[in-house]
Structure 1
Amino acid sequence: MNNNAVIAVAVAALLVAGGGAAAYFMMNDGGKGSDAPELIVGQYTYDAYDHASGKNVKMPAFYEDSYFDKGASADNPSLMMFAFNIAMSCGYSTDDFSRRSDSVVAFMTAVGYTETYVNDAYKTEPTMHSTQVALGSRTIGSYTVIIVAVNGMNYGAAFGSNMLVGASGDHEGFSEGKDVVLETLRHYIEDKGITGDVKLLTTGYSRSAAITNLVGRDVSDAIAEGTVAETVGDVNLEKDSAYFY
């Protein structure tokens, strides 16, 4: 069995294993030689709602701080997949609305984003005008990395905002959600006392992906126009440090 096959088997075994808070393994260099550095990969699991079975299921995910080494304009499938997993973790199903954010908060905490916060909408039964947002942050090198997760899974009556198109301009329901996300982000940055250089990852699925697109547009415009403080918060945010998936 060649080196690449060994790696494939190791990854497959981890994907099947699941069930733990975090597990680690070391892969070889794919045949580049024994002197090449080994790659350390972290595997985690999170709970997500599975529409097919109608139950919460364990899902595998991978994370490394190095995912943020590349700028936002670079091809970055690893960060994209991590962002997708964050978005999926938002859809935890429970009859206790105050615990709907448990999975995304636990997932962010497990990968080191321990400064977590969820907005009030994430603690109550959704309405047509609800936008549920969870945030977490950690320091990586000279940057504070902030994750903004917008719930687009299993969100009940909030689905109705898809129909609020409006007469002109941006989609009314999505624009309303965008305003909630940016307001929550500004509050979070101020409340946590975050200053200096920031990297921002915002992610969503379905309705919340549309909201994320609008957030990305407004943040990109703010960076270009020098209005980051008004739009995001009193931090330094560059174009290549703002990721939207």
Structure 2
Amino acid sequence: MKKIMMSLLLGVMLIGQLSVAHGLGVEENPFLQTSNEKIVKVNLDETTLIVFLIDTSRTMRGNGIQTTIDESRTIIEPTKDRGVIQEKLTTLTCQGKSDLTAGLKTVGKLVESKQFTKTNLIIISDNAPTSGETLQKGTYKRKDIYSYKFANAADDFAKVLKSARVSIRTLAFMDHVANTTKDFTQRFFENIQNASFVDISQGIDFLFEYIEPNQTLLSGQFDYGVTVEDRKGKRDASTQFYYTDDYFKQSSYITQRQGLSYNSSLATMSLNLELSAWGSPTQANYLFKSNNVKDLLNKLDFKEFEANDDFKFKPTKDSIGAVLANKKLKVDQEDYTLLALAIRGGGYESEWASNVTLGTSGQHQGFDKASQDVLTFLDSYVIKHKIQGKIKLWLTGYSRAAATANLVAGSLNNGRKNATSNTQSCEYVCFLF
């Protein structure tokens, strides 16, 4: 049973989701760069605890929090009623100073109860602590900031939580912070976290997904083909992924025939796979341009990775990069081979030119040629690795690669003879972006 608890502390609101959270990651949508929208994805199961520690001091006004918090108390007992929580949220306003240490210590008491196998803590704030317990000697000194003693106390107890294997993520409205203290504030929140720090000045959304008790969830970081620059220099962007083989246990044909809604988590993972298949902008050698997708598929336990020849050389107007890997699945006691086929939809340089190779009749000439090249690659891969029996094909593409993948899926669905035709059966799961 999923339960939710909410507590109020001195200048801090604590929302804990009991017996539900498995993991949490922050993803920046690469297609929404102009608005810098961020999504915090929370995967839920029955064994762990997730806590939201939200600053309600006066500097947080304007962030949708409305009532006065002047003492530490529990205002909602464990519940699965979302309406109760929403009602309480609307009664909150922002006032006073920020006592982060009090909130952290309440989290500590929940951890000490040992009711949960894992604890995820998400801190949402716009300022380092300005009240509460103090600590003279610690990470910070008077030269860092006038309120360094409060920061030391919070930093010290955060270390206690981290030693108890609490995963801490800090989300900060950095646009609220004065320029004179911005560097310190970011340093403070980067120091107390052990999972991630994110500037959420442009907003934040939370996506909750319930994970079945027997479901094995893989999660971690992967790189994709967008260049970012930080203090360490230029690198490929990175974000979080969540994957389980259970995404493929439902027959794609049953989903289609019964009009079932598509799996949004599989759609997100498909986008992750596609992004990783973009040519890496930081790899000069074309033999290594596919390293990001190779690394991601390896983390998902896929084997026998291959990139086609067009991925290994400088792209031309007629080339099409694609990768394949496979893994074994068991669905309802039957053996399947899951083929992951990702088509390069970014970092493809001159390949964009085929977008305007329309032809005079039939299918778009540029996309059609690309789809035939991908089908040939699929045929050769199945034959080379002697893949037999039942197959599930996971196919994804973006932009030009989406058009190509659409033609590939359409050709297979229309009965094109290929190497997979000699297997017992082949299901297709195709996501286009």
Q: Please, what TM-score do these two structures have when normalized by structure 2?
A: 0.48
Aligned to 1:78: 265
Contact 1:113 1:137 in 2 (8 A): yes
Q: CA deviation at 1:26?
A: 7.1
Contact 2:219 2:240 in 1 (8 A): yes
Aligned to 1:42: 218
- Aligned to 2:345, what secondary structure does the other structure show? coil
2:46 paired residue among 25, 28, 47: 28
User: What is the RMSD computed on CA atoms of the aligned residues?
Assistant: 2.8
Aligned to 2:412: 219
1:191 aligns with 2:384: yes
Q: CA deviation at 1:188?
A: 0.2
- Aligned to 1:115, what secondary structure does the other structure show? strand
- Aligned to 1:116, what secondary structure does the other structure show? strand
Q: CA deviation at 1:175?
A: 0.4
Aligned to 1:15: 26
Q: CA deviation at 1:71?
A: 2.0
Q: CA deviation at 1:111?
A: 0.4
Q: CA deviation at 1:41?
A: 2.5
- Aligned to 1:2, what secondary structure does the other structure show? strand
Alignment partners' CA distance in 1, 2:346 and 2:420: 25
- 1:172-204 deviation digits (Å, cap 9, x = unpaired): 110011001100000000000001100001111
Alignment partners' CA distance in 1, 2:385 and 2:368: 26
Contact 1:159 1:207 in 2 (8 A): yes
Alignment partners' CA distance in 2, 1:189 and 1:84: 24
The amino acid across from 2:429 in the alignment is Y
- 1:185-231 deviation digits (Å, cap 9, x = unpaired): 00000000001100001111110000010011101011xxxx54x36
Alignment partners' CA distance in 2, 1:174 and 1:2: 50
Q: CA deviation at 1:38?
A: 6.2
Aligned to 1:59: 239
Q: CA deviation at 1:232?
A: 3.9
Q: CA deviation at 1:162?
A: 0.7
Alignment partners' CA distance in 1, 2:338 and 2:243: 14
The amino acid across from 1:67 in the alignment is Y
Alignment partners' CA distance in 2, 1:38 and 1:194: 28
1:244 aligns with 2:424: no
Runs of 5+ consecutive residues of structure 1 not aligned to the other structure = 17-24
CA separation of 1:71 and 1:59: change in aligned 2, threshold 3 A? same
Aligned to 1:148: 341
- 1:22-64 deviation digits (Å, cap 9, x = unpaired): xxx97328959x9x83654221221112267684111211110
CA separation of 1:173 and 1:232: change in aligned 2, threshold 3 A? farther
Aligned to 1:98: 287
The amino acid across from 1:107 in the alignment is L
Q: CA deviation at 1:169?
A: 1.0
- 1:107-160 deviation digits (Å, cap 9, x = unpaired): 111101112111111111000011011000011011000011100111100111
Q: Of the two structures, which has the highest relative contact order with CA contacts closer than 8 Å and spacing of 6 or more?
A: 1
- Aligned to 2:318, what secondary structure does the other structure show? coil
1:6 aligns with 2:17: yes
Alignment partners' CA distance in 2, 1:15 and 1:157: 33
Alignment partners' CA distance in 2, 1:233 and 1:67: 24
The amino acid across from 1:104 in the alignment is V
- Aligned to 1:193, what secondary structure does the other structure show? coil
Aligned to 1:69: 249
Percent identity of paired positions between Structure 1 and Structure 2: 23
- Aligned to 1:47, what secondary structure does the other structure show? strand
Alignment partners' CA distance in 1, 2:308 and 2:214: 40
Runs of 5+ consecutive residues of structure 2 not aligned to the other structure = 6-14, 28-42, 48-78, 82-115, 117-211
* Structure with greater helix share of residues: 1
Count of residues paired in the alignment: 227
CA separation of 1:244 and 1:163: change in aligned 2, threshold 3 A? same
Contact 2:307 2:322 in 1 (8 A): yes
CA separation of 1:194 and 1:153: change in aligned 2, threshold 3 A? same
The amino acid across from 1:186 in the alignment is D
Alignment partners' CA distance in 2, 1:233 and 1:102: 30
- Aligned to 1:181, what secondary structure does the other structure show? helix
Aligned to 1:114: 303
